[in-house]
Amino acid sequence: MVKAVIFDFDGTLIDSLDAFITAATELSGRFGYSTDQDIDALRKKGPLEILRGELRWSWLKIVLYIRAMRPLVHAETRKQPFIKGMKAVVQTLQKRYVVGILTSNSKAVVEEVLARERIGVSFIKGGTAVFGKHRALKRLLKRLKLTPADVLYVGDELRDIKACRRAGVRIAAVTWGLNDESVLAAAKPDFLIRTPKELLKIVK
């Protein structure tokens, strides 16, 4: 039985695709890549597939890129709205479950957006490593004294699915975020949801 619902932030609770596009465009000259690629095509790929596979970047360059991109994305996501219908879903879940957020975005940005939307959650864990979410998830469960079976994670990316697999946590993948529905479906999440309200049917 689910006791806690943990949300990703970017692309799951807020519409942050434009924020990532803006940040990527600003850094393109500095890191030497083109931003002329089709957005729909990019949504079908994971970040490592692009950075390591197509651009053939070293791990050092990837780390430097992430460090440069974080503040730009944080600045842009402050302005982004909640996904339509998600605010009501979060408020409904709060009545029965522990509801929190685990994200690579900063805690300060999340708090600012939640305050603007007048939404409160039980906890916010921000600043997690882009490719280390599984470790952060395990630590969070230990701190909250929850087992993997107690938790449902809600995210929008392939890396969210992979992190949940490694942590033994079930995941509901949303189709309105950074990765395309077909790619998410191929990764076989526990649940695939197309509208926020569908989450309420999963968590009963």
- Looking at the structure, tell me whether residues 71 and 86 fall in a common domain: no
| Residue 36 to residue 168: CA distance in whole angstroms | 38
Neighbours of 60 (CB within 10 A): 8
| Residue 148 to residue 141: CA distance in whole angstroms | 7
Residue whose C-alpha is closest to residue 135's, from 184, 169, 183, 173? 169
- Looking at the structure, tell me whether residues 133 and 192 fall in a common domain: yes
- Looking at the structure, tell me whether residues 101 and 189 fall in a common domain: yes
- The CATH code of the domain that includes 101 is 3.40.50.1000
pLDDT value for 90: 95
- Looking at the structure, tell me whether residues 179 and 124 fall in a common domain: yes
- Looking at the structure, tell me whether residues 98 and 190 fall in a common domain: yes
- Looking at the structure, tell me whether residues 135 and 153 fall in a common domain: yes
Query: Domain total for the chain?
Result: 2
pLDDT in tens, the chain (204 residues): 899 999 999 999 998 877 778 888 888 888 887 777 666 666 677 677 777 667 788 888 888 888 888 888 878 888 888 999 999 999 999 999 999 999 988 899 999 999 998 999 999 999 887 778 999 999 999 999 999 999 999 999 999 999 999 999 999 999 998 888 999 999 999 999 999 999 999 986
- Looking at the structure, tell me whether residues 44 and 125 fall in a common domain: no
| Active-site residue, selected from the candidate residues 8, 10, 15, 156 | 8
- Looking at the structure, tell me whether residues 125 and 190 fall in a common domain: yes
Q: Is 30 exposed, middle or buried (0-12, 13-18, 19+ CB in 10 A)?
A: exposed
Domain that holds residue 44: 17-77
pLDDT value for 25: 84
Structure tokens at 66: 């992430």
10 is catalytic: no
- Looking at the structure, tell me whether residues 128 and 102 fall in a common domain: yes
- Looking at the structure, tell me whether residues 135 and 123 fall in a common domain: yes
- Looking at the structure, tell me whether residues 85 and 181 fall in a common domain: yes
* pTM of the shown model: 0.84
- Looking at the structure, tell me whether residues 121 and 31 fall in a common domain: no
Q: Which of 57, 77, 97 is the last residue of a domain?
A: 77
Q: Which of 77, 93, 118 is the last residue of a domain?
A: 77
